[in-house]
Every structure is written in structure tokens, then in C-alpha cells.
Structure 1
Amino acid sequence: MPWAPVDYPIAAKIMKTALEQGANLWNGGIHYGTPTANSLHLLKYYFTQYPEDADKVILCIKGAYNGATHTPEGTPEAVRASVKNALAVLDGVKKIDIFECARVDPTVPIETTVGALAQLVKEGKIGGVGLSEAGAATIRRAHAVHPLAGVEIELSLFTPDPLKNGIAETCQELNIPMIAYGPLGRGWLTGRFRKYEDVGANDFIQQFSARFKPEVFDNNAKIVEAVEAVAKRKGTTIGQVAIAWVRAQGAIPIPGSKTEERVLENLKSKDVSLSAEELEELQRVMDTMPVQGPRYGGEFEKLLNL
């Protein structure tokens, strides 16, 4: 990815460690990188090196999205072209278990988009259909056309929105797995950012999250400190508490990691359980110290929860 470049051999070693520790839901995107070096190329490299792992991994790929213009492309033609492109890069080393539209195209009825994906399932091109950043009503409409294998949402102590806007309720009612990206608040809940200087003036993260801006930084840092208090009492890390909270909401967390150490730390969250009292304390943190700043900001905000 452009925001976290890692050499393929190093990345493959990290991915191998993750799989050996039980992390078998892998999430990538055609637009995560350049047309000639994105996450699909890394996946092609990995499964070429470890073909025996292909059936051990549930691969979820996002597409139908123009990474250059940052616009979703939900027409049947665009959806089919996106899947064809993804399969061409993978070159048979791994099947696509779930294909997600990275965003809902507001110019195309969701029934049309999902209908095209359903046809690709029938053809054996993809295993299942998923959505990303779709609103509750859209999820219902899509699921009526073809059962959804997953809905990817941003969910964390910094972004509890799906618990309030009907998305989580809808997924639970329809028995659709919730795949939670950003469970660590895009890095906030790792404890990495203690002062604004830790972000870095040219850090890519500022382009995709207004919550790191200087005018809101101190407020959001206080939220981290409050979560850290819970972690210290439990003898865990901030991140482990954050991921355990996401799991407690019934979602599957997919934290990004670029070191083996971080992978192992994140996966230890499976052994962390939060008591009712701790969950109440974290809820009070969110209620009394709401996060400041929109999730993305700018034009990106318009494509959320459609």
C-alpha cells in the first residue's frame, strides 16, 4: 500500500505469521496501491510462495472503485471488469471468496450492482457478495437480491457509529457478518500518537482522517488515555482492549499490521475479555469524550453509509 510500503518477502513473512496464529480472513483491494503494485499483487506473490495456504484463507477483495478519481463504479459492466481485473492479477493462485463493492455507487440502484455480482457468483468467478460502507436500508435491499457474505464497516472506540445508525442491528437481524476495519482508530488506539508531532506533517494518514488534525488532536488523545487506563488495570495494551471491544460488539476485526510484533500483539486480543463493568466504563468514555473530527473529511465523507 502507498501508506505502508513493505517489501514483498517481508510482508509475506508477516502474513504467514498471522495465518499461523489463526488470522485467516484477509482483506485487500484493487485500489490499495497502484495498478501494477497493489494488494492483489502482494497476494499473488504470497500464494505463489505458499500455495498450500490458499484453502486456509478467506479472501475478501474490494473493487468496483476508481482509485484515481475516488469514485465507486457500480454498473454491471464496471463490476464485471473489476472482478476480471482482480482475477487476472491473482492468476489462479487464490480464489476470491468475497468480492465487495468498496463503496456504494449513488448513481446505480444497489439491486443492479448486486444483481451483477450475483451473476458472477453463479459463474463461479467469486464465492460471495459483500458491501463496504453501506447504510442499513441499502444492506436490506442488497440482501434481498442476494445473501450478503459480509458487510465491511469502520468500527472502533473512535467510530461506534454502526451501533447507532442501524447498520449493526440490520446485520445482526439478517445474520450478515460485520467485518470491522479500522478497529484501532486508524492508529490512534495503538498508543503511537501521544503528541501532534508524532503524526508527522506529511503523514499519509492525515489525508484520510480529519481526526489527526492539530485542532482536534489533544481532545482525541484524551480518549486514548482513558482507554489506556482500562488496559493498564488489565495488564494488556491499548490496542488489545480496543480490538476486544470490537469483538464484544459482534464484529470481526481486521486490524492492519506491518510488523510481526504488531500482528502477535493484536492477535493476543483473542484472550482478552471485557467485563460488563469495563464495557460500561468504555461507553462512558465515548459518551463524555466524543471523538472530534469527521471520519474522513472532504469529498470522501459523502460516500459513507449510503
Structure 2
Amino acid sequence: MSPGKAAITRVGGKAVGPVGFGMLGLTKPWAPVEYPIAVKVLRTALEQGANLWNGGVHYGTPEANSLHLVKHYFEQYPEDASKVVLSIKGAFGMKTGPDGSPEGIRASVEDALKVLGGTKTIDVFECARVDPKVPVETSIKALAELVKEGKIGGIGLSEVSANTIRKAYAVHPISAVEIELSLFTPDPLHNGVVDTCHELGIPIVAYSPISRGWLTGQLRKLDDLPQNDFRRMLPRFQPEVFDQNFKLVEEVEQIAKRKGVTTAQVAIGWVIRQGAIPIPGSARVERVVENTKAAELTDEELAEIQRILDALPVSGERYGGTQEKFLNA
């Protein structure tokens, strides 16, 4: 596929901006953000046109996760509920893994709705990962029943292969496919996922478009990460590969300097040119403003970036350990 301008502007039948917002940055349990600050961040995201909000039942704790934050926000600003397209991931436990059974999916949706308390509908619900013990067709049929009952607006897929997308699409229309897509993870461009979504007309939602902070320009050395930062456990941030991976950041920085934009804006602009909706997350208002002003990249700049990616492949798996087996399933 040759990159082009983002043409996908609707998710679940509702118009969305070119950039969405990922709520993980506001609800991570290792660095919680106070609700008054989080509300300002969400309000700013919407004001900047980022009306696709993406969260998860497992983003945070059972008592304080994305859904609790969403409820709190819409209690403050009920008039914004109709403006936001809310996509929620669930049917997944950080310790137990995915549960794609009809019972597990229904329980997850019911729990999410209970937390929201009628403040906002779930426009798209995604099983966070594919359950290897349950045929994807079975999971989609269960979600289709929830759509029919009006409990969710549409069905999303997360971290799926091209084959799984086709199987799911054959059962029920798919509102969105969420994948990791960034300069550090261009894999979906080569494994058929992006091509399949474009062929079937399914919106692509790209999480971690700035590569878990790599492409913010704030990480220059491993010691820039706090000792309790979860990224220290990820393969791409290990001491033996950190300096090698940072070379990619330095090359992208040169493009950003020439254009008078930030490295993150180049990274997000690149994702948009692949026909995806990036959902960068942030805990600060100023970062939201920055991230919603993506750089416009020329064809020549895209070609230059491709040469950089070819010359400097990223070292290390995305997650490592048991979580890696649930990717691109």
C-alpha cells in the first residue's frame, strides 16, 4: 500500500477527528493523575478535535480505571457525551489474560455499563486480545447480541491478524481495528493488517503512535526513565538495545527540526499518512495540544523516513514474556 492522506473519518458511524486520545496515560496505576487534572486534559483533547476516546477496563484498578474517569468527566460535562466516540477494551485480565467466551464478554460489558451509570454509551467495545481458547466467530456473535440489545454501539478488534479480521468481518460489521502502529512498530504495514482494513473499509486506530515515549524527544538515555517506570521491563528499553534504538529517534529529530515541529508531531503525522487514526495519550494539557497538531509530511519526507526505517530496524519485542503471544492473533 502506498501511503496517502487519511481518508477514514468515521468510527461506528460517527465522525471523528484525525487524531484521537488514549486514556492509558491518565489511568495508569503506577503514576495516577488526579481527577481535576485528568478532566482538564480530556476537555482539552475534545476542544482540539480529538473526539475518539479510547480506554480499557484494565487501564487502572477495579476501583479507578478508564470508565470511572469517563463517568466523572461526563458528570461534569454531560453536554459533551454526544460529542465523544467512546471505545472501550475489556474481556481481559492483566493476570488472567483474555476471556473471549460469551459469558466473559457479557460480564465485562455489563460491568462497564454499571460503572458508567448511564453517563455515556459505549460506542465501540473491543475484546482487548483474542482468546486462543475461543473461536473468534463465537466471540463476535456474542458481541453482536450485545449490539442488538443496544448495550454497545459497535464491535472493535484489538491486536488481531489479517486472517482474524476477515473471520470477524464475515460474522458482523467491524467498527474499528486497534493495533500498535508507529515508526517503532510499522509491522501492520507488512503483515496484511493495514491492507485488509483498507480493503474492507474498517477504520484503523493506532495506539502508541509515539512509541511509549521514545518519539517525544524526552528520553535521551535509560536513566531518564524513573526506576519504577514500567517501560524498564519492556524489551526495547533494555540497556543492551537502548542506544541502538535511540538512533532512530535521532534521525526523526532531524526531520522535525527542519520542519520546525516536534519529533512527536512527525511520528503522529506519519501514522495519519498510513490511513490510521492515532490515539496518543498524555497526562498534560500542553502535550495534548502538541499531539493534536500533527506534522504534514510530503511524499519526499515519507520516502526519507522509509529509508531510515530500513537502515535502523528496532531491536526488541514489543512486550516480551507471556503478553507477546497475544499480539497479532
Taking structure 1 as the reference length, the TM-score comes to 0.97
Q: Could you tell me which residue of structure 2 aligns to residue 173 of structure 1?
A: 199
**d(CA) in 1 for partners of 2:181, 2:133:** 26
Question: For each residue in 1:97-139, what CA deviation from the matched residue of structure 2 results, as whole angstroms up to 9, or x when unmatched?
Answer: 0000100001000000000000000000000000100100000
Gaps of 5+ in 1: none
**d(CA) in 1 for partners of 2:48, 2:204:** 21
**d(CA) in 1 for partners of 2:37, 2:261:** 27
Q: Could you tell me which residue of structure 1 aligns to residue 231 of structure 2?
A: 205
**d(CA) in 2 for partners of 1:267, 1:252:** 11
Question: For each residue in 1:155-212, what CA deviation from the matched residue of structure 2 results, as whole angstroms up to 9, or x when unmatched?
Answer: 00000000000000000000000000000011000011101111233211223x3111
Moved over 4 A (4+): none
Letter in 2 for 1:62: K
Q: Could you tell me which residue of structure 1 aligns to residue 88 of structure 2?
A: 61
Q: Could you tell me which residue of structure 1 aligns to residue 240 of structure 2?
A: 215
Letter in 2 for 1:202: N
Q: Could you tell me which residue of structure 2 aligns to residue 187 of structure 1?
A: 213
Q: Could you tell me which residue of structure 1 aligns to residue 101 of structure 2?
A: 75
Counterpart selection for 1:21 from 41, 45, 48: 48
Q: CA deviation at 1:2?
A: 1.2
**Do residues 96 (structure 1) and 128 (structure 2) align?**
no
Given that 1:4 and 1:258 are in contact with CA atoms closer than 8 Å, whether structure 2 keeps it comes out as no
Counterpart selection for 1:157 from 183, 192, 196: 183
CA-atom RMSD, angstroms?
0.8
Letter in 1 for 2:236: R
**1:1-306 paired onto structure 2 within 5 Å:** 1-69=28-96, 71-207=97-233, 209-269=234-294, 272-306=295-329
**d(CA) in 2 for partners of 1:220, 1:200:** 19
> Tell me, what secondary structure is at the counterpart of 1:96?
coil
* Identical amino acids, percent of aligned pairs: 66
**d(CA) in 2 for partners of 1:39, 1:67:** 15
Q: CA deviation at 1:67?
A: 2.5
**d(CA) in 2 for partners of 1:73, 1:226:** 41
Letter in 2 for 1:47: F
Larger RCO (CA within 8 A; separation ≥ 6): 2
**d(CA) in 2 for partners of 1:231, 1:164:** 25
Letter in 2 for 1:100: E
**d(CA) in 2 for partners of 1:205, 1:59:** 27
Given that 1:111 and 1:145 are in contact with CA atoms closer than 8 Å, whether structure 2 keeps it comes out as yes
**d(CA) in 2 for partners of 1:285, 1:294:** 19
Q: CA deviation at 1:29?
A: 0.3
Given that 1:3 and 1:205 are in contact with CA atoms closer than 8 Å, whether structure 2 keeps it comes out as no
> Tell me, what secondary structure is at the counterpart of 1:148?
coil
**d(CA) in 2 for partners of 1:67, 1:275:** 40
Letter in 1 for 2:322: E
**d(CA) in 1 for partners of 2:30, 2:161:** 27
Letter in 1 for 2:150: G
Letter in 2 for 1:227: V
> Tell me, what secondary structure is at the counterpart of 2:325?
helix
Distance 1:3 1:179, change over 3 A: farther
Question: For each residue in 1:20-48, what CA deviation from the matched residue of structure 2 results, as whole angstroms up to 9, or x when unmatched?
Answer: 11000000100011111111101110001
